[in-house]
Structure 1
Amino acid sequence: MSISDLYSSGKHKQEIGHFASVVKIAKADGKISEGEEKLLLRAAKKLNISLEEFKIITANPEKFPVNPPVSYDERIERLFRLTKMIFADEEAELVEVKLMRKIAVGLHFSTENAEKVCDEAIHLVLNDNDLESFTEAIKAVNKI
């Protein structure tokens, strides 16, 4: 085993943190629906999360910090994925929305703007906007 196998890269730690946030949203209502499970599997694949990591993270996502990326566009992309997870089971629970707002602050959206940004994110995903349109609209609402 090489030394690189022992330690996750900074990028992989960010991916694990993001995946854990997505899992937290999926589990916020106490269960993971079939739609949420499918989205989690797709997200894990996209984020290079191994099956072993998948099992560990889904069992206890609270053990993993958010670790936001430095790039503003990447943070918006993470917000996009979180918002998609809220609607994976075709219903938005208040507990999921509240958790999303907390995670948005962890993604370095200001506490003053987090609610407004998340409300806009929900509106955009409900209207089936793609990531590019989502990014433009969030930047307009957030105005940093």
Structure 2
Amino acid sequence: MSISDLYSSGKHKQEIGHFASVVKIAKIDGIISEGEQKSLDKAAKRLNISEEEYKEILKNPENYPVNPPIDYDDRIERLYSLTKMIFADGVVDKHEVAILRKIAVALNFPTDNAEKVCDEAVHLILNGNELDDFTVAIRKVNAV
């Protein structure tokens, strides 16, 4: 196996883990709304998730670990897409925010700051901030 194959498979594991996290947020209320379904389909395409992987992850997203990226900006981008999923059905649920905080810790945001980071993330998405502004604001809140 070449080094590029190892990188590729490691990257794909990160993408699968991220997609599973997105699915966990979408399924938290027991149903997947039309908006959430559209977001899941878009995320699966962007993350190169095959149809077979999609179906398996949808059944049991808990079976897939988060596998956070090493790059801090990539972790912020993951937080961004997860936070956007919270708004996909038009309703922000406290259970969705609670799971977002757990996933933020799994993405290596400090445990003692995860609540503040996630609250800011929700506020930023609520106000329509795009990824660039989101990244700057999360860096300030997380003091990195």
- TM-score for the superposition, normalised by structure 1: 0.94
Say whether residues 1:79 and 2:75 are aligned partners. no
Report whether the alignment pairs 1:47 with 2:67. no
2:114 alignment partner in structure 1: 114
Q: Do structure 1's residue 35 and structure 2's residue 18 form an aligned pair?
A: no
Distance 2:136 2:107 in 1: 17
User: 2: distance between equivalents of 1:138 and 1:31?
Assistant: 30
Question: By how many angstroms is 1:114 displaced?
Answer: 0.2
Query: CA separation in 2, counterparts of 1:138 and 1:29?
Result: 27
TM-score normalised over the length of structure 2: 0.94
* Larger helix proportion of the pair: 2
Q: CA offsets, 1:64-102, max 9 Å, x none?
A: 000000000000000000000000000011110000000
Where does structure 1 differ by over 3 angstroms across 4 or more consecutive aligned residues?
A: none
Amino acid at match of 1:118: C
CA separation in 2, counterparts of 1:139 and 1:115? 14
Aligned length: 141
Q: In the alignment, residue 30 of structure 1 is paired with which amino acid?
A: G
1:103 is matched with which residue?
103
Give the match's secondary structure for 1:65. Answer: coil
- Code of the residue aligned with 2:77 in structure 1: it is E
Q: CA deviation at 1:39?
A: 0.1
Matched, 1:132 2:132: yes
Q: How far 1:103 sits from its partner (Å)? A: 0.2
Q: Unaligned stretches of 5+ in structure 2? A: none
Aligned-residue offset at 1:141? 0.4
Aligned-partner residue type, residue 45 of structure 2: K
Identify unmatched segments of 5+ residues in structure 1: none
Tell me the equivalent position of 1:69: 69
Q: Indicate the residue corresponding to 2:11 in structure 1.
A: 11
